[in-house]
């Protein structure tokens, strides 16, 4: 469903990503791993339309997306998180989930002014979906709190809920376990698996927590210094001598 | 304090609040645009001026047709003014700011000053640079106080200004708090990149912000135009500067801040004019700005910006 063909990203003289290709199929959990500065996040930025790749092509559900603005890519059903939490801190938890459903709300200003039945129906549905996901990530009791006042782990979960209310086909998670304690990481692990299992959402993951990556990924891509190094099932990657060398250094 | 000086004080307070209401309507445009894209739209005062001109033209046109029934005249003036000014506000962003988005902060600022000069001269060429005068439509009012002493008065025009401002501000507050576009506005002002990644068309939100700001400035233009009865192509400059001061005073980016700052500024001006001299009212207004910037740079209701990591 998502296919990245030899994308490169050049910043001035720096080639941050060089010819990376990857494939994510329906209902798959795919991870990108690599040492710090390998260009993993840059790949994410290219896919989600945050950057425009300098070479290569990206197609999503059969449509070329590498020249689309980010909000259009998102409306096609792709949504992402960042390494650090980026909630709308001064809005309430529930508002964070409502505002994310904009792409589903295709009514105009007039219908909002007169509160037509269609408009109300959409509002109700948006609210229902938001409440559903709050329950799912165990944040329902905080619905009217300002998002910025939540604990870190809760903010992380709210971010995933905010992605899910957009009803995406694919979820891009950039280091979702960063800063979580082992218990929270385990919860996250289950959440990601259930997202794939219950909602048929594919997941593309960047993560340093090898326990998490090896445990849930169907396939893994390894990038090093912007170039693809290896790809395959978790067990193959674990045994790959190039990967071991890149991670542990020459020995 | 005897009755006379109390009445005098109340009168100044009423005058200050009237002025403050008009400043508040204009200040919203500065503060919202700053909140969303972090730029000062220095051509905003000109939108207010255009609002006044359109109102004058609309009222004159109706008078030529023999229509002088006040509610009709007022609503027609208000609607045409809001429509035309909104169109100007929208085009301003499209033409002068959107192409420059993402460039150095100074560049849109210079573009704004250029647009300000352009709009002033555009109106000057079309309408002449002399004062346009109009007889007051709303006359009369209430007076309080003894027959032989000082009488405080509240004119119907002042009342109209209060009422229209109150209604506009309430509508705006509800819009921002409740509506979808209002939520999108807040989301974009907090994190434009994330809002876009969640599928919000940020360009539309930015356009909407300019349109809302322009519409409110037009309302101020109609009201102050009717209150003072004169307009010239240069009234936007000082009104814009005052409203900008009000926005900074209250904390730029904050909507309640802009309302509060405008009221304080209006009252400070009318008090200075009443108890000191009229000439010094601008000195006090801008002196207040300097003091606020020195001692509380984020304004009264502004929050210090948290360094982003």
Q: What is the mean pLDDT of each run of 10 residues along chain A (251 residues)?
A: 90 88 92 87 90 92 90 90 91 93 65 74 89 92 93 92 92 90 90 89 90 90 88 87 75 47
Phi-psi region for residue B146, left (φ > 0), alpha (ψ -120 to 50) or beta?
Answer: beta
More confident residue, A248 or B235: B235
Q: B193 to chain A: which residues are within 8 Å by CB?
A: 50, 70, 86
User: Rounded to 5 degrees, what angle do the CA atoms B189, B191, B194 make?
Assistant: 135
Cβ count near A46 (within 10 Å): 25
Residue range B15-127+156-295 forms a domain whose CATH class is mainly alpha
* Cα gap B136→B206, rounded to integer Å: 37
pLDDT reading at B232 higher than 80: yes
Predicted pLDDT of residue A113: 67
Mean pLDDT of B28-54: 94
Residue range A1-77+169-251 forms a domain whose CATH class is alpha beta
Note whether B190 contacts A91, CB cutoff 8 Å.
yes
| B177 touching A (Cβ < 8 Å) | no
Compute the nearest-CA separation of B192 from chain A (Å): 10
Tell me the CA distances in angstroms from A95 to A156, B186, B200, B242, B284, one per residue in order. Answer: 16, 10, 14, 34, 41
By the 10 Å C-beta count (0-12 exposed, 13-18 middle, 19+ buried), B254 is classed as: buried
Q: B305 to chain A: which residues are within 8 Å by CB?
A: none
CB contact set of B265 (below 8 Å; sequence gap of 6+): B19, B20, B23, B242, B245, B246, B249, B285, B288
Q: Please, what sign has the CA dihedral across residues A153, A157, A158, A162?
A: positive
Tell me the CA distances in angstroms from A188 to A142, A173, A214, one per residue in order. Answer: 19, 11, 14
* CA nearest neighbour of A132 among A110, A161, A105: A161
Which of B184, B186, B191 comes nearest A102 by C-beta?
B184
Predicted pLDDT of residue A36: 84
Which of B179, B187, B309 comes nearest A88 by C-beta?
B187
Q: B201 to chain A: which residues are within 8 Å by CB?
A: 71, 102
Which of A90, A112, A166 comes nearest B180 by C-beta?
A112
Predicted pLDDT of residue A103: 67
Helices and strands (H, E) in chain A, number of each type: 10, 10
Q: A164 to chain B: which residues are within 8 Å by CB?
A: none
* Cα gap A86→B207, rounded to integer Å: 24
Indicate the Cα dihedral angle A36, A41, A43, A49, nearest 10°.
Answer: -170
Q: B196 to chain A: which residues are within 8 Å by CB?
A: 69-71, 74
Alpha-carbon A14 to chain mean position? 26
Strand bridging mode B141-144 / B152-155: antiparallel
pLDDT reading at B308 higher than 50: no
Averaged confidence pLDDT in chain B = 91
Q: B187 to chain A: which residues are within 8 Å by CB?
A: 88, 91, 99
| B190 touching A (Cβ < 8 Å) | yes
Does this complex have an ipTM over 0.95?
Answer: no
Chosen for mutation from B176, B186, B199, B215 (greatest number of chain A CBs closer than 10 Å) is: B199
Q: B198 to chain A: which residues are within 8 Å by CB?
A: 71, 74, 79, 99-100, 102-103, 162, 166
Alpha-carbon A233 to chain mean position? 20
Note whether A48 contacts B190, CB cutoff 8 Å.
no
Which stretches of chain A sit within 8 Å of chain B by CB? 48-50, 69-71, 74-75, 79-80, 82, 84, 86, 88-91, 95, 98-100, 102-103, 105, 109, 112, 162, 166
Compute the nearest-CA separation of B181 from chain A (Å): 9
Note whether B191 contacts A91, CB cutoff 8 Å.
no
Residue extents of the structural domains in chain B: 15-127+156-295
pLDDT reading at B309 higher than 60: no
| B193 touching A (Cβ < 8 Å) | yes
Compute the nearest-CA separation of B303 from chain A (Å): 11
Compute the nearest-CA separation of B106 from chain A (Å): 24
Q: A50 to chain B: which residues are within 8 Å by CB?
A: 193, 197
Predicted pLDDT of residue A251: 47
Summarised one tens digit per residue, pLDDT across range B112-170 is 999 999 999 999 999 988 898 887 888 888 888 888 878 888 999 999 999 999 999 99
CB B27 within 8 A of CB B275: no
Cβ count near B286 (within 10 Å): 14
Instruction: Give B13's DSSP letter.
Output: H
Q: Please, what sign has the CA dihedral across residues B106, B108, B110, B113?
A: negative
Which of B179, B194, B195 comes nearest A112 by C-beta?
B179
Compute the nearest-CA separation of A243 from chain B (Å): 31
Compute the nearest-CA separation of B20 from chain A (Å): 28
Alpha-carbon A98 to chain mean position? 18
* CA nearest neighbour of B126 among B208, B49, B209: B49
Compute the nearest-CA separation of B117 from chain A (Å): 33
Predicted pLDDT of residue B214: 97
Predicted pLDDT of residue B4: 85
pLDDT reading at B307 higher than 90: no
What DSSP letter does each residue of A91-127 carry, written as one string?
SBHHHHHHHTTGGG----HHHHHHT-HHHHHHHHHHH
């Amino acid at each position: 469903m998502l296919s990245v063909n030899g994308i490169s990203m050049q910043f001035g003289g720096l080639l941050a990503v060089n010819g990376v290709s990857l494939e994510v199929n329906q209902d798959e959990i795919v991870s990108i791993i690599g040492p710090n500065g390998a260009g993993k996040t840059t790949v994410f930025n290219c896919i989600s339309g945050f950057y425009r790749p300098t070479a290569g092509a990206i197609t999503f559900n059969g449509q070329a997306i590498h020249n689309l603005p980010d909000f259009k890519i998102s409306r096609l059903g792709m949504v992402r998180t960042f390494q650090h939490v980026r909630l709308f801190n001064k809005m309430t938890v529930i508002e964070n989930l409502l505002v994310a459903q904009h792409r589903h709300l295709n009514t105009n200003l007039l219908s909002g002014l007169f509160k037509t039945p269609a408009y109300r129906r959409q509002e109700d549905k948006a609210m229902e979906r938001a409440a559903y996901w709050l329950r799912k990530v165990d944040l329902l009791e905080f619905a009217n709190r300002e998002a910025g006042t939540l604990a870190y782990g809760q903010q992380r979960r709210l971010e995933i809920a905010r992605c899910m209310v957009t009803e995406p086909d694919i979820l891009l998670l950039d280091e979702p376990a960063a800063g979580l304690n082992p218990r929270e990481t385990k919860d996250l692990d289950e959440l990601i698996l259930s997202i794939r299992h219950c909602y048929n959402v594919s997941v593309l993951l960047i993560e340093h927590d090898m326990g998490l990556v090896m445990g849930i990924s169907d396939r893994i891509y390894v990038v090093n210094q912007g170039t693809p190094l290896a790809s395959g099932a978790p067990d193959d990657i674990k045994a790959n001598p190039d990967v071991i060398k890149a991670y542990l250094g020459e020995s | 304090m005897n009755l006379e000086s109390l009445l005098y004080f109340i009168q100044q307070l009423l005058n200050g609040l009237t002025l403050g209401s008009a400043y508040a309507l204009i200040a919203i445009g500065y503060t919202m645009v700053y909140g969303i894209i972090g730029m000062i739209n220095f051509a905003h005062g000109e939108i207010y001026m255009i609002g006044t001109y359109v109102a004058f033209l609309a009222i004159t046109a109706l008078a030529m047709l023999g229509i002088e029934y006040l509610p009709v005249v007022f609503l027609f003036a208000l609607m045409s003014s809001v429509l035309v000014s909104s169109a100007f506000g929208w085009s301003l962003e499209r033409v002068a700011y959107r192409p420059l988005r993402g460039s150095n902060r100074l560049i849109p600022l210079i573009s704004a000053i250029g647009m300000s000069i352009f709009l002033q001269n555009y109106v000057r060429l079309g309408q002449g640079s002399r004062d346009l005068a109009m007889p007051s439509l709303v006359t009369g009012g209430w007076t309080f106080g003894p027959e032989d002493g000082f009488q405080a008065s509240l004119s119907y025009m002042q009342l109209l200004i209060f009422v229209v401002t109150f209604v506009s501000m309430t509508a705006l507050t509800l819009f921002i708090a409740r509506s979808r576009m209002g939520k999108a506005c807040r989301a974009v002002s907090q994190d434009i990149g994330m809002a876009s990644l969640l599928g919000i068309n940020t360009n539309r939100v930015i356009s909407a912000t300019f349109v809302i700001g322009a519409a409110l400035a037009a309302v101020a233009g109609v009201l102050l135009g009717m209150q003072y009865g004169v307009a010239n192509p240069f009234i936007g400059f000082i009104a814009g500067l005052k409203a900008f001061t009000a926005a900074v005073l209250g904390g730029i980016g904050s909507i309640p801040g802009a309302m509060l700052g405008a009221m304080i500024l209006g009252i400070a001006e009318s008090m200075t004019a009443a108890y000191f001299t009229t000439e010094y009212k601008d000195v006090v207004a801008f002196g207040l700005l300097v003091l606020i910037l020195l001692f509380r740079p984020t304004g009264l209701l502004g929050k210090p910006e948290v360094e982003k990591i």
